[in-house]
């Protein structure tokens, strides 16, 4: 692809869609900072702009054929079979294993009920796609690396910093390609934000204010009733939900963070908050079920939302009700074994005195990250719909509409398929530099999360973030 040097003037021209297009400010050293990247016009979602992959089709084994393994990543292979072929699957739930096997014609000898069996055979593919629950990342990652596989590894890398380091060391020993699924780095909206900063459009970054509004129902589904509810079974919220945010902050600021202080707790979703007359399950004769915003009967049976994590081979009223009576998603949100926080604030200090204030707020009626970035020559605001860049001297604004770039794309605004697109090329060429979310760079943002949690548990004590040791 032809490289083009472009600067702030090019950038603002290419944003192009502002209602009141701004006169361009006089150039300054920061304005003229050019990123040496291809034109901003190239930032449409990957599949639309993909170059044909030269070389062989990448063969992968999917370990954990649930929502991510099937919906987010294998779907790339169904769409682009010349690039990715799934040749093995490990999945204990029969219909999910069969769904994958049928779609990719996987021979019976390569259909497994659990990840361990994959590694009893000699290597039979290029890569392992690890999309098991968080507590089952370490095992298949280490076993896969040992046998010489490359990995597409779902975040969180592992449950402890020590385990993350084990995976990193083995990756480097084996010279493997390991992509961590920080899919936001492959999403056009965040890519545009990074390009704007790198072009010097707001001067030098001084500070960032970043909000992750999880949204109440999402919280109740994933972090109260669901797989990420308990920090021992999965990870603390700052990692399981917010490793994307620490990663985006580290990526946008492009400098290491040295210190963090964090506060947060679980306020709403605990037994002390349970309304009078509520029962252990929404189907158990709960007196307030009809008025409860978290009624599982309304969310799952009537609205048919969030069904991808329920164990449902067939979706109908009867099967959903059966799941709600016996499974985790029918439980009262005030009476689960959840312990992850529903609000947390973390302050990070980066090199050169740059600061970032990050809030994870579960109790919102809306989702979509909000980010404000303050620079020496202007500021930027984004809400995953639009990006607004304001010039400090003229006060004029440029607005870029992210919705157009993300229309019709895969999950995470195109980030899911964007990641696989880069991964298959990195594996094909044995070149990790074709990825932006290697395990090497992801370690740093994971450590930011581990240290933020350590700070929270120690009442907000300032923690150092040091990669070595």
Judged by CB under 6 A, which of 153, 181, 332, 465 binds ligand NAD? 181
The one-character DSSP state at 114 is S
Cβ atoms of 259 and 466 closer than 8 Å: no
CB of 355 to ligand NAD, least distance (A): 26
- Count of C-beta atoms within a 10 Å radius of residue 182: 27
Please choose, from the candidates 162, 236, 215, the residue with its C-alpha nearest in 3D space to the C-alpha of residue 452.
236
Judged by CB under 6 A, which of 14, 34, 57, 114 binds ligand NAD? 114
Binding of ligand NAD at residue 157 (CB under 6 A)? no
Residue number with CB closer to ligand NAD (57 or 67): 67
Residue number with CB closer to ligand NAD (88 or 382): 88
Strand (E) or helix (H) holding 238: helix 237-240
Binding of ligand NAD at residue 243 (CB under 6 A)? no
C-alpha distances out from residue 92 to 2, 68, 96, 98, Å: 47, 15, 8, 10
Binding of ligand NAD at residue 88 (CB under 6 A)? no
CB of 246 to ligand NAD, least distance (A): 14
Judged by CB under 6 A, which of 43, 183, 389, 424 binds ligand NAD? 183
Cβ atoms of 143 and 119 closer than 8 Å: yes
- Count of C-beta atoms within a 10 Å radius of residue 178: 31
Please give the residue whose beta carbon sits closest to ligand NAD in the complex.
Answer: 66
Binding of ligand NAD at residue 369 (CB under 6 A)? no
Structure tokens at 391: 């010039």
Cβ atoms of 236 and 265 closer than 8 Å: no
Binding of ligand NAD at residue 245 (CB under 6 A)? no
Binding of ligand NAD at residue 144 (CB under 6 A)? no
Looking up tokens 């506060």, which residue turns up? 263
Judged by CB under 6 A, which of 45, 64, 77, 236 binds ligand NAD? 64
Torsion of CA 363, 365, 367, 371, to 10 degrees: -70
Binding of ligand NAD at residue 66 (CB under 6 A)? yes
Question: Binding-site residue total for ligand NAD (CB under 6 A)?
Answer: 27
Binding of ligand NAD at residue 409 (CB under 6 A)? no
Q: Distance between CA atoms of 147 and 287, rounded to whole angstroms?
A: 55
CB of 66 to ligand NAD, least distance (A): 2
Segment interacting with ligand NAD (CB under 6 A) among 85-93, 277-285, 322-330, 349-357: 85-93
Binding of ligand NAD at residue 68 (CB under 6 A)? yes
94: exposed, middle or buried (Cβ count in 10 Å: 0-12, 13-18, 19+): exposed
Looking up tokens 């094909």, which residue turns up? 428
Binding of ligand NAD at residue 63 (CB under 6 A)? yes
Give the interface with ligand NAD as residue ranges (CB under 6 A). Answer: 63-69, 90-93, 96, 114-115, 131-134, 136, 154-155, 181, 183, 227, 240, 309, 412
């Amino acid at each position: 692809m032809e490289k083009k040097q472009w600067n702030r003037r090019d950038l603002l021209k290419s944003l192009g869609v502002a209602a009141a297009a701004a006169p361009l400010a006089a150039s300054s050293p920061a304005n003229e900072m050019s990123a040496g990247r291809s034109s901003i016009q190239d930032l449409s979602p990957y599949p639309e702009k993909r170059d044909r992959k030269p070389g062989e089709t990448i063969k992968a084994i999917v370990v954990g054929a649930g929502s991510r393994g099937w919906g987010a990543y294998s779907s790339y292979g169904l769409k682009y079979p010349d690039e990715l072929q799934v040749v093995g699957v490990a999945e204990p739930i029969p219909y999910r294993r069969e769904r994958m096997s049928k779609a990719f014609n996987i021979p019976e000898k390569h259909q497994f009920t659990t990840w361990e069996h994959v590694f009893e055979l000699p290597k039979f593919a290029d890569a392992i796609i690890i999309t098991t629950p968080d507590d089952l990342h370490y095992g298949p990652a280490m076993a896969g690396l040992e046998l010489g596989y490359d990995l597409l590894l779902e975040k969180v890398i592992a449950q402890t910093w020590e385990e993350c380091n084990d995976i990193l060391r083995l990756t480097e020993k084996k010279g493997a390609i390991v992509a961590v699924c920080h899919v936001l780095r492959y999403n056009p909206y965040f890519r545009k934000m990074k390009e704007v900063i790198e072009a010097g459009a707001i001067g030098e970054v001084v500070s960032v204010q970043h909000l992750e509004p999880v949204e109440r129902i999402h919280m109740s589904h994933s972090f109260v009733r669901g797989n990420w509810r308990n920090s021992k079974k999965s990870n603390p919220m700052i990692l399981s939900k917010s490793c994307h945010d620490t990663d985006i902050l580290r990526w946008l600021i492009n400098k290491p963070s040295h210190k963090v202080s964090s506060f947060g707790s679980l306020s709403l979703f605990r037994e002390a908050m349970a309304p009078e007359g509520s029962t252990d399950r929404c189907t158990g004769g709960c007196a307030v079920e009809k008025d409860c915003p978290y009624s599982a009967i309304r969310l799952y049976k009537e609205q048919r939302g969030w069904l991808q994590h329920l164990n449902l081979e067939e979706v109908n009223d009867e099967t959903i009700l059966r799941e709600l009576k016996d499974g985790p998603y029918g439980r009262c949100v005030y009476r689960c074994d959840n312990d992850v926080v529903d609000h947390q604030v973390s302050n990070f200090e980066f090199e050169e005195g740059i600061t970032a204030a990050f809030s994870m707020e579960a109790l919102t009626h809306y989702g979509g990250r909000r980010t404000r970035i303050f620079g020496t020559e202007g500021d930027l605001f984004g809400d995953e719909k639009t990006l607004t860049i304001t010039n400090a001297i003229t006060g004029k604004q440029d607005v870029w509409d992210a919705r157009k770039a993300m229309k019709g794309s895969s999950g995470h605004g195109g980030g899911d398929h964007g990641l696989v697109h880069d991964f298959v090329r990195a594996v094909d060429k044995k070149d990790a530099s074709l990825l932006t979310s290697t395990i090497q760079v992801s370690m740093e943002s994971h450590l930011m999360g581990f240290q933020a949690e350590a700070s929270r548990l120690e009442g907000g004590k300032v923690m150092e973030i040091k990669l070595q040791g």
